[in-house]
Amino acid sequence: MKKVTEAASVYVPTAEDFVPVSSERKTDTSAESVGGSRHDTVKKFFAQKSAVVGVVILALLVIMSIIGPYLSGYDYADQELDRSNLAPKVPVFSEMGFLNGSELLPKTTGDTSHNRYEELGISDVYYIFGTDSLGRDMFSRCFMGLRISLIIAVVSTLINLFIGMNYGIISGYFGGMADVIMQRIADVIGSIPTLVVVTLLMLVMEPGMGSIILALMLSGWIEMSQIARAQVLNVKEMEYIQAARTLGAGHSHIIFGEILPNIIGKMITQIMISIPAAVFLEAFLSFVGLGMPPGSCSLGTLLSDGFKSVLIHPYQLIPSAILMILIIVGSHLVANGLKKAAE
């Protein structure tokens, strides 16, 4: 911001400057006011090792969620009842006596190790992540689940962003009575604990992706709107906004041309916080029995299914748990990096 004020102090305005802004001009001003620092932010962001790691993790997860379900050659929903509960078996490792399809059962009569591949006479078959109790390939299921969970999280976060940002900007920008009323409404909705909103909604609606997104949406936009509003209040009084206003720019120009680019950084950080929260909440819903319907597959259903047999077949839980942890770690690192870069 300093840069702008200095520039303004040496700049001698000419008559040209007092012509109402055109659409071309709009990009110019915003680029000048924040564009430079934005470039710096990107540089600063990528200078942090942890942030880069975060970006790589997230990128890999997204790529795997797209191609993962097709890599193993088994469909995620195909059941083969006679191949149920197979432990992970990986081509190269199995030669070394590691991940070779044997598992240790803590039976009541003592720990016993066995290899179901050999018992079933299918020693030439490989399931990298093993199979579940219905003989479905865990590898495909995990990445399919990742895909569904990411879709739920991203869609709900984007909707939240859209609603929250508009709400916050309108409330903060126009102020006055509108602001008071809108804030009261947000206060009331925001005072209902997420747990309660989500639980009640999921009870009332049919279980499914749409209702989970809606439930996540209803509880998530408040925070977005608060951040947007706070940012608007901050930015609103800045010199460049007042300058734009003096130049006769309309509300929409100021909101979309001047304010929006300035709060987008904060919003991206908030997105990176919201996405893992949504993944977490989705998983939690599955645990309480309010998540995705049975038969479908998301990280939440995989986790809660795996959890039910973690003692017997821990490999049915571990991959999906790791995927969820990776989502959270990745977004966390990126969010942290963004915060630091913005400082």
Partner 1 sequence: MGKYLLKKILISIMTIFVILLIMFLLLQFMPGSPFNDDKLSPEQIEMMRQKYGLDQPVIIRFFRYVANMFKGDLGVSYSISANTPITTLIARRFPVTMEIGLVSLCIGTFAGVVLGLLSAFFRSRVMNVIYSVLTLIGIAVPSYLLAMFLSYCLGFRANLLPMLYDVRDPFTTSIMPVAALSFMVMAIIGQFTKAEAMDVMNSDYVLLARCQGLKNSTIMVKYILRNSLIPVITMVGNLLVGLLTGSLVIEQMFSIPGIGTLLTQAISSNDYNVVLGLCFLYSGMYITVRLVLDILYCFADPRVRLGGTKS
Partner 2 sequence: MMKNKNTLCTLLAAAVMLSALSGCSAIREKKKSELNIAIGASPATMDPQLVSDTYSGRMTSLFTCTLYMYDENNATVPGLAESMEWSEDNLTATYHLKEGIKWSDGSPITADDFVYAFKHLADPQTASSAVYLITSCCIIQNAVEVSKGEAPVSELGVSAVDHQTFQVKLEVPCPYLNSLFTMPDFAPRNRAFCENVGSDNYATSADTILSSGAFIPDLYEPLAAQIHMKKNPYYIFADDSDLPGVNIQIVSDSQQAMMCFETGVFDIVSVNGSVYELAEGDACLHDYPTVSTDFIKINCKTNQYLGNKNIRMALSKVIDRKSLADDVLRTGYDPLYAMSPPGYFTEDDGTDFYGDGSRYLEYAGFDENKAAELWKQGLDEIGTSSVNVKLTYYSGNSALAEAIEAQAEKALPGCDIELDPVTQKEYLKMSSSGDGFDLLIAGWAADYGDPTSFLNLFLSGSGKNIYSNDEFDGLLDKANESEIINTPGERNKILHQAEDLLMSEAAVIPLFSVEDSVLVREGVTGFTETPTSAYSVKKLDKEVR
- Give residues in contact with partner 1 (CB under 8 A): 50, 106, 180, 184, 187-188, 191-196, 199-201, 203-204, 276, 280, 283-284, 287-290, 307, 310-311, 321, 324-325, 328-329, 332
User: Is 95 or 343 the residue whose CB approaches partner 1 more closely?
Assistant: 343
User: Is 17 or 187 the residue whose CB approaches partner 1 more closely?
Assistant: 187
User: Is 174 or 307 the residue whose CB approaches partner 1 more closely?
Assistant: 307
Q: Residue 82's binding partner, choosing from partner 2, partner 1, none, with beta-carbon cut-off 5 to 8 A by kind?
A: partner 2
User: Is 16 or 111 the residue whose CB approaches partner 1 more closely?
Assistant: 111
Smallest separation (angstroms) from partner 1 to the CB of 50: 8
Smallest separation (angstroms) from partner 1 to the CB of 219: 12
User: Is 215 or 341 the residue whose CB approaches partner 2 more closely?
Assistant: 215
Q: Residue 328's binding partner, choosing from partner 2, partner 1, none, with beta-carbon cut-off 5 to 8 A by kind?
A: partner 1
Angle (CA) 123 128 131, round 5°:
80
The 3-class secondary structure across 34-64, one letter per residue, is HHHHHHHHHHHHHHCHHHHHHHHHHHHHHHH
User: Is 245 or 339 the residue whose CB approaches partner 1 more closely?
Assistant: 339
Q: Residue 268's binding partner, choosing from partner 1, partner 2, none, with beta-carbon cut-off 5 to 8 A by kind?
A: none
* Cβ partners under 8 Å of residue 337, min gap 6: 45, 48, 50, 51, 52, 54
Provide the 10 A C-beta neighbour count for residue 252: 8
Provide the 10 A C-beta neighbour count for residue 190: 16
Q: Which residues would be at the binding site for partner 2 (CB under 8 A)?
A: 79, 81-82, 84-85, 105-109, 133-134, 207, 293-295, 308-313
Instruction: Report d(CA 155, CA 91) in Å as an integer.
Output: 37
Contact 85, 132 (CB under 8 A): yes
Q: Residue 92's binding partner, choosing from partner 1, partner 2, none, with beta-carbon cut-off 5 to 8 A by kind?
A: none
User: Is 97 or 295 the residue whose CB approaches partner 2 more closely?
Assistant: 295
Helices 138-174/176-190 angle, 10° precision: 150
Q: Residue 332's binding partner, choosing from partner 1, partner 2, none, with beta-carbon cut-off 5 to 8 A by kind?
A: partner 1
User: Is 243 or 326 the residue whose CB approaches partner 1 more closely?
Assistant: 326
Smallest separation (angstroms) from partner 2 to the CB of 120: 12
Q: Residue 109's binding partner, choosing from partner 2, partner 1, none, with beta-carbon cut-off 5 to 8 A by kind?
A: partner 2
Phi, psi of 283 (to 5 degrees): -65, -40
Instruction: Report d(CA 136, CA 75) in Å as an integer.
Output: 8
Instruction: Report d(CA 279, CA 306) in Å as an integer.
Output: 17
Closest C-alpha to 296, from 154, 148, 74: 148
Smallest separation (angstroms) from partner 2 to the CB of 129: 18
Q: Residue 295's binding partner, choosing from partner 2, partner 1, none, with beta-carbon cut-off 5 to 8 A by kind?
A: partner 2
Q: Residue 329's binding partner, choosing from partner 1, partner 2, none, with beta-carbon cut-off 5 to 8 A by kind?
A: partner 1
Alpha helices (runs of H) in 293-317, residue ranges in sequence order: 299-308
Angle (CA) 91 297 100, round 5°:
20
Provide the 10 A C-beta neighbour count for residue 208: 14
Angle (CA) 214 202 164, round 5°:
25
User: Is 189 or 209 the residue whose CB approaches partner 1 more closely?
Assistant: 189
Q: Tokens for 75, please give them.
A: 């469909």
Smallest separation (angstroms) from partner 1 to the CB of 187: 6
Phi, psi of 18 (to 5 degrees): -95, 10
Q: Residue 220's binding partner, choosing from partner 2, partner 1, none, with beta-carbon cut-off 5 to 8 A by kind?
A: none
Smallest separation (angstroms) from partner 1 to the CB of 58: 13
